[in-house]
Amino acid sequence: MTEPSQDRVRTGIRDAFRRIAPEVDLESIDPSANLREEADLDSVDALNLIVLLDENLGVEIPESDYDQITTLADMRRYLTARIPGG
Q: What gap in Å lies between CA 77 and CA 80, rounded to an integer? A: 5
Confidence of residue 86 (pLDDT cuts 50, 70, 90): low
Q: Which domains does the chain have, with CATH numbers?
A: 3-82 (1.10.1200.10)
CB 54 within 8 A of CB 60: yes
Q: Which of 65, 39, 41, 61 is nearest to 50 (CA)?
A: 61
Region at 33 (left for phi over 0; alpha for psi -120 to 50; beta for the rest):
beta
Confidence of residue 84 (pLDDT cuts 50, 70, 90): confident
Q: What gap in Å lies between CA 49 and CA 37, rounded to an integer? A: 14
Average pLDDT of 64-81?
Answer: 95
User: What's the whole-model pTM score?
Assistant: 0.89
User: Which tens digits make up the pLDDT trace of 14-37?
Assistant: 999 999 999 999 999 999 999 999
Gyration radius (Cα) of the chain, Å: 12
